[in-house]
């Protein structure tokens, strides 16, 4: 296959301006020498907090100006080899993730550092960040509802991953032991995002409950979630909570007849 150049002429600054993140270029002495278009726009709201008129005033300033302990920051910068990532607080009013990447020379084998590219990502106000964290905590708090005799229901909402699952399992087990629970119904209808560990977590929850003599059923699996979860061993699955509860009531009725 022939290698051909793309029929377009793109400069380095064109590429950096096309990235939807705040990009700041500093020289080897940490003096800011360039901002991409995105940074110029978003940093206009931050400039007044530093008694600057607008983002253009950042050009020519040394990065020491923005740090309470410049010597410490210089030490951190001097130790950066391939990249550095951290979360920063800007004037106690903005929160941002910062990624600093050395710009290395390609003109010699030593690849000496000639400057730094600084990316400010997810710049948000402290108030917005606090609300986001509150929403996240609320989302991760899974209420346990007693919906029928010796039966509890868990409605999972939002993102679900292995960390959340490992936190949830001991809470459910303790509830079952202390309240004499016989059935646990897990609803996945509110799950918006998940990783490939969901199946393992659900299977682990089922297996742990089975050791306690508690039966676990799953309801509300969306088609796209069903495809990704795949096969769940020996776990009863129903399209919605109504069907799941009917199944539980039927099992309880059969037990009472026996």
CATH of residue 240's domain is: 3.30.750.24
Q: Are 24 and 117 in contact (CB under 8 A)?
A: yes
**What pLDDT is recorded for position 135?**
55
105: containing domain: 12-124
158/238 same-domain check: yes
146/100 same-domain check: no
Residue 3 is assigned to a structural domain of this protein: no
Alpha-carbon span 41 to 56, nearest angstrom: 10
Residue 108 is assigned to a structural domain of this protein: yes
Alpha-carbon span 175 to 170, nearest angstrom: 9
77/37 same-domain check: yes
Token couple for 158: 């939002």
152/247 same-domain check: yes
CA 188 distance to own-chain centroid = 19
Q: Are 237 and 218 in contact (CB under 8 A)?
A: yes
216/109 same-domain check: no
Residue 79 is assigned to a structural domain of this protein: yes
Task: Specify the 3-state DSSP secondary structure of 42.
Answer: helix
Q: Are 144 and 154 in contact (CB under 8 A)?
A: yes
The partner residues of 79 in beta bridges, in order of sequence, read none
Those residues with Cβ within 8 angstroms of residue 44's Cβ, 6 or more apart along the chain or in another chain = 54, 55
**What pLDDT is recorded for position 229?**
64
Token couple for 24: 């700041």
Token couple for 77: 């910068």
152/56 same-domain check: no
**What pLDDT is recorded for position 19?**
84
Residue 247 is assigned to a structural domain of this protein: yes
192/107 same-domain check: no
CATH number where 57 lies: 3.30.450.20
148/253 same-domain check: yes
23/84 same-domain check: yes
Those residues with Cβ within 8 angstroms of residue 157's Cβ, 6 or more apart along the chain or in another chain = 139, 142, 190, 191, 192
Q: Which of 64, 90, 124 is the last residue of a domain?
A: 124
- Give me the number of domains the chain comprises: 2
Alpha-carbon span 100 to 116, nearest angstrom: 7
What is the pLDDT tens value at each position of the chain, 258 positions in all?
445 554 556 677 888 888 888 999 999 999 999 999 999 998 998 899 899 999 999 999 999 988 888 888 888 888 888 888 887 888 777 778 889 999 987 766 667 888 999 998 877 765 565 566 555 545 445 678 898 889 999 888 777 777 777 888 888 999 999 999 999 999 988 876 666 677 788 888 999 999 999 999 999 877 766 666 666 667 888 888 999 999 999 888 887 776
Look up the pTM and report it.
0.48
Give the DSSP per-residue string, 46-83.
TGGGGT-SSGGGGTT-BGGGG-S-HHHHHHHHHT-SS-
Residue 178 is assigned to a structural domain of this protein: yes
C-alpha pair distances (Å), 212 with each of 145, 152, 175, 176, 233: 19, 15, 12, 8, 17
Residue 109 is assigned to a structural domain of this protein: yes
180/235 same-domain check: yes
Alpha-carbon span 204 to 216, nearest angstrom: 11
Residue 133 is assigned to a structural domain of this protein: no
């Amino acid at each position: 296959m022939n290698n051909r150049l793309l029929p377009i002429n793109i400069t380095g600054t064109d590429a950096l301006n096309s990235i939807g993140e705040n990009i700041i270029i500093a020289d080897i002495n940490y003096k800011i020498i360039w901002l991409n278009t995105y940074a110029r726009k978003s940093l206009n709201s931050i400039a007044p907090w530093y008694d600057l008129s607008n983002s253009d005033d950042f050009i020519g300033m040394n990065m020491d100006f923005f740090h309470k302990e410049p010597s410490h920051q210089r030490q951190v910068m001097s130790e950066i080899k391939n990249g550095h990532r951290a979360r920063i607080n800007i004037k106690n009013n903005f929160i941002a993730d910062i990624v600093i990447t050395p710009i290395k020379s390609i003109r010699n084998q030593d690849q000496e550092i000639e400057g730094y590219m600084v990316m400010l990502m997810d710049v948000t106000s402290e108030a917005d960040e606090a609300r986001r964290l509150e929403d996240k905590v609320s989302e991760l708090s899974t209420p346990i509802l007693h919906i029928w005799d010796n039966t509890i229901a868990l409605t999972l909402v939002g993102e679900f991953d292995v960390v959340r699952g490992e936190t949830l399992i001991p809470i459910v087990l303790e509830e079952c032991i202390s309240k004499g629970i016989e059935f646990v119904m897990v609803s996945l209808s509110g799950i918006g995002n998940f990783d490939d560990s969901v199946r393992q977590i659900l299977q682990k929850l089922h297996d742990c409950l089975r050791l306690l003599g508690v039966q676990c059923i799953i309801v509300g699996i969306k088609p796209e979630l069903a495809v990704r979860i795949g096969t769940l061993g020996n776990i009863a699955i129903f399209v919605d909570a109504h069907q799941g509860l009917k199944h539980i009531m039927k099992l309880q009725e059969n037990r009472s007849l026996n």
